Amino acid sequence: MVRSIASRDSCIRPRWLRVMLTAAALGLVQGTWADENTFGPGDLTRASTSRAARDEAMRAIPWDRLRPDARQKVEWVLANTSVFRRLPIRIIQCDPDLYLFLVHNPDVVVNIWEVLGVSHLAMRRHSPDTYQVTDDIGTVGTLEILYRSRDLQLAYVDGTYNGPMFGHRIRGRGIMLLRSHYAREADGRCLITSQLDAFMNIEPGGAEFLTKTFQPVVGKIADTNFQQSVGFLACLCRTAEVNQAGMARLAAKLGRVPPEVRQRLAELSQLAAQRASQISAPGDVPTFDPDGPRTAERRGPSLK
């Protein structure tokens, strides 16, 4: 059975990019379908700050494929890491091509949140790999994709926080390593396993206080938001499968992304719908109303 959810407290409540930038500014955030050889040692369902997880994540960095300037940024963060955190594994059901498109184009996801009225995060693309990010709590930062492939994405974050929480400007820099593993079920559906490793640094002076005081709290928030955010990708994929026309309208409303990117979103949504139509069991993945919260309130709880 397919559930349609327009509630802001369930399907459309993701903030993984906001967590990344805020965590970088504050310097706090350091399965059945994937074995430990794929995603490293430890309990896959729990967060980890262990040395073993940290060393495994460092070995997974595609050093030989990084540009010299990108390599320099990564080396600096690793040499000056204040906090490391491996967030819990998340397994979702999603069309692999649409998932990969959304992961490789974070501004699309952020613009969707804006259209749906569920986030004050703003993201502007400065180049194919660089994004300027701001929010409403005093965080300003740059997100740069250093490497991307089907299975791995490496991002560099440089952000500052100048809000009321600490009374002074704090700078944070970090790298985020996102790994994805794909497995096909017997009925043809794809399960995707996602894992995020974060290495964070903050400017000297506040690091010790912030790390000792707030890391446990912010770490748990980051874990939850990552789970919700990856869950939103599954929600978006399922919406594309059952409401292709609505997804086409949503793509047309994304005014902060290039036209060719909007067009590609519409094309991949159509492809996801075609693939889903060939699978007998629809699954139990929630959807949302792509026409926005006002339309959702007018239509009621179910998609037609």
CATH number at residue 265: 3.30.530.20
Number of domains into which the chain is organized: 1
Q: How confident is the model at residue 58, as a pLDDT?
A: 98
Within a domain: 6: no
pTM of the model: 0.77
Q: How confident is the model at residue 303, as a pLDDT?
A: 29
Q: How confident is the model at residue 160, as a pLDDT?
A: 85
Within a domain: 8: no
Q: What is the residue range of 22's domain?
A: 16-299
Query: DSSP per residue over the chain, as a string?
Result: -PPB---TTTTS---HHHHHHHHHHHT-----SS-HHHH-SS-TTS-B--HHHHHHHHHHS-GGGS-HHHHHHHHHHHHT-SEEEEPPPEEEE--HHHHHHHHH-HHHHHHHHHHHT----EEEEEETTEEEEE-SSSEEEEEEEEEE-SSEEEEEEEEEE-STTTSS-EEEEEEEEEEEEEEE-TTS-EEEEEEEEEEEEE-TTTHHHHHHHHHHHHHHHHHHHHHHHHHHHHHHHHHHHH-HHHHHHHHHT-TTS-HHHHHHHHHHHHHHHHHHHT-S---S--B--TT-HHHHHHH-S---
Q: How confident is the model at residue 215, as a pLDDT?
A: 58
Within a domain: 5: no
Which segments of the chain have a pLDDT < 50?
Answer: 1-10, 12-42, 294-304
Q: How confident is the model at residue 94, as a pLDDT?
A: 92
Within a domain: 198: yes
Within a domain: 245: yes
Within a domain: 37: yes
Q: How confident is the model at residue 286, as a pLDDT?
A: 55
Q: How confident is the model at residue 11, as a pLDDT?
A: 53
Q: How confident is the model at residue 24, as a pLDDT?
A: 43
Q: What is the pLDDT of residues 198-212, one digit of tens each?
A: 998 887 555 555 555
Q: What is the pLDDT of residues 54-108, one digit of tens each?
A: 999 999 999 999 999 999 999 999 999 988 989 888 899 999 999 999 999 999 9
